Structure 1
């Protein structure tokens, strides 16, 4: 059920994105490693004045349903800057969800409250280079050893989104009891950013960093949840986070489609508007189909999560189907715009880059398909008489 409060917020978000956020897309502070912090602070202040920061989280700290979140985040994603303005961008949105589920009262006060308020950013230290954890988290090489009432962590991480400028991080490390999550304030002299990678996408502040962790000393109070339960907590975070990625990028793909449609209406060739040429009109029709199917997949998976189910398989299906459908939409939009599509005169070029990266982030399509195939094999083995 979609509440009246959510519908009212949705209308306000839609107006805010169109009237206040979109004009910032051409701002020179919106660079190759994501928008600068002062740009984010400026547009977030405008959202805060309207009561739109973290609109999916109620005043008491509880979340609206995943189905309602889908409406709000799709509207936020209509501009690549929208999720930042509203404080619903990755990795912060997923980290807020996890901290709300697992953190102690003191950890929530120290880390979660300023994050929800939009005063700080966070990072999630999971992926590793050089044969370490990536699509296969069991390959984790970062180690945490116990030293009295403290833990000492050493290792390397890579593609850590937003680490440059983050105020805190969730660190995944291997212990004798199993993978464990830790919370740490940033900056910390034991955590060094070796470099910020130049990547195809450019929507996330701080970009994606290569990190060295050398002798990071944390107290037992900075363990997130229980020791050895890191992979279980990661599943709490990952399924909803995969889906919120789908929500945000659906909004961006929808914007690209709207731009392409308007272009096809006003641009003429061979005596008529482009939209009247079947080669273009059919691409726009296919966009409509892909956007609607993606929307339905998002809402279906959201409904599964709202039952309290883990939604692991469902979120894998949604991640593959939505990321690939939205990439087809973005690709067609570039083609329809022709030379303009590969320029930065519109946001279509950025939408194409961002959504292409989305097919890898939070698990490549191939890994999700492999996981689903394993599930099918197990189910089929249990069925007889076919």
Structure 2
């Protein structure tokens, strides 16, 4: 009643927004078709083609668990679920009828008799585990890498999927002690220390989105610094999504999408989060992605027509409207990935003793979510980094 009586009633009014389950857009569909024919019939996702592929809208580069129902809808049908996909490669679990030995390469979930089957699997840094219809759990060692794509494939025939559920732990510790954290900002996130104008759950979304934290720094800079210590080998990845200023249903325009310029990911030093490796995307008048080492540019790439993000201007300034950015360090190699594609690489002859992770931007308005911080080195390296920062020797 208070909203209805408010002079801002038209601005505050909400309407439901629906998205299609499968389609060709990375911005507006939960699953993006990359081959074959995919459609939803009676609440079931059905795929066919040789091959048929659909990709989930969100990438998950860390530990995760997946559960789904599957039915081979035609004789000789074969399918697969691919996790940790990067540049076409990933950890593939085959789905076949019978005993699963017909095609025989790689991990295989044998679906047995006809009809629907429930498949559950878990992926961590070292192993893939799976079971079918609540039976015995099987597992194989894997090389996890830093890919995050979730892909369904149909290699032959027709296959139906239903009740697909993906769960990601907020915090995980691997068998060797390596840690990972996953933050979607659907609640108060106490693991981060904020610098600058951040707003919890600010803005609205026209593209597929869930929850986020908003940086509104049209002047100056804003950073979120993780309170934990990592490193030196670590990966930080985040979604950048357009921030929207809502004006009102009775206004023209009703809303404005701000450009997600000058996005920043840092692997920093204990005393200076900005002083280690700093990646800037959509920077320098939206023309370049740049990596800085201790404040000095050491690698860059032009954001031309081949770059995974394009600035178009207009109502939705960037295409795609939601992007996955990552900064990865392993030893002396620092990589930048945009939408799962490596856009630059730098070999540091004198690697810095980084142990801090920070994200943010400057002169921008942007929504940030689905932030992963994943340690790629044993926990003993954290103590070694502290020794390096203090001038000590690394054992």
TM-score in terms of structure 2 length: 0.27
Q: TM-score, normalised by structure 1?
A: 0.27
Highest CA radius of gyration, 1 or 2?
A: 2
Greater share of helix: 1
Compare the two structures and name the one with the higher strand fraction: 2
